[in-house]
Amino acid sequence: MIYYEYEITKELLELLKSSKLNNKQKMKMLECVENEKTATKIQKDRFCLYYGLNRDGKKDMNYAQIARIYNCTLPAVKYSIMSMKTRLKRNNKNIKIIEEILEEYKSNFGGKYKNEKEN
């Protein structure tokens, strides 16, 4: 089960980074991030900047751009993003939302998403 959660989270984040999700799908993911109670505000903010999750249409940023904003090191930015990824995939509520987003993406573009769960 853990492998499945890892794979679908990875798949969704790849779609986010490649700008293949629509605004509605991005907003669902943003809500997951905002509602994650175990993450710090900085972790959430850095994750959102990296994946372009925001309500005002800003593009995603790379580690260096985020590090300049926060006046911190690249490893600090990377650690924040990795921590947020871990938190997202460990929360069953988030996994259900991730599945919904991937299912919607699949229905819009045909075929199945790369890591669809087998029945």
Dihedrals φ, ψ of 118, to 5°? -85, 145
pLDDT in tens, 8-26: 889 999 988 888 888 899 9
User: pLDDT tier at 119 (50, 70, 90 boundaries)?
Assistant: very low
d(CA 35, CA 28): 11
Q: Is the pLDDT of residue 34 over 90?
A: yes
Q: How far is CA 98 from CA 66, 72, 74, in A?
A: 25, 30, 27
CB-CB contact of 53 with 29 (8 Å) = yes
Whole-angstrom distance, CA of residue 66 vs CA of residue 62 = 6
Give the model's pLDDT for residue 110: 61
pLDDT at position 116 is 45
Average pLDDT, the chain: 87
Report residue 112 as tokens: 């199945």
Cα separation, 81 vs 37, in Å, equals 15
Average confidence (pLDDT) over 29-36: 92
Mean pLDDT to the nearest integer, 30-51: 94
CA 45 to chain centre: 12
User: Is residue 51 over pLDDT 90?
Assistant: yes
pLDDT of residue 105 exceeding 80 = yes
Judge whether residue 27 has pLDDT over 70: yes
> Which pair of structure tokens corresponds to residue 62?
């790379």
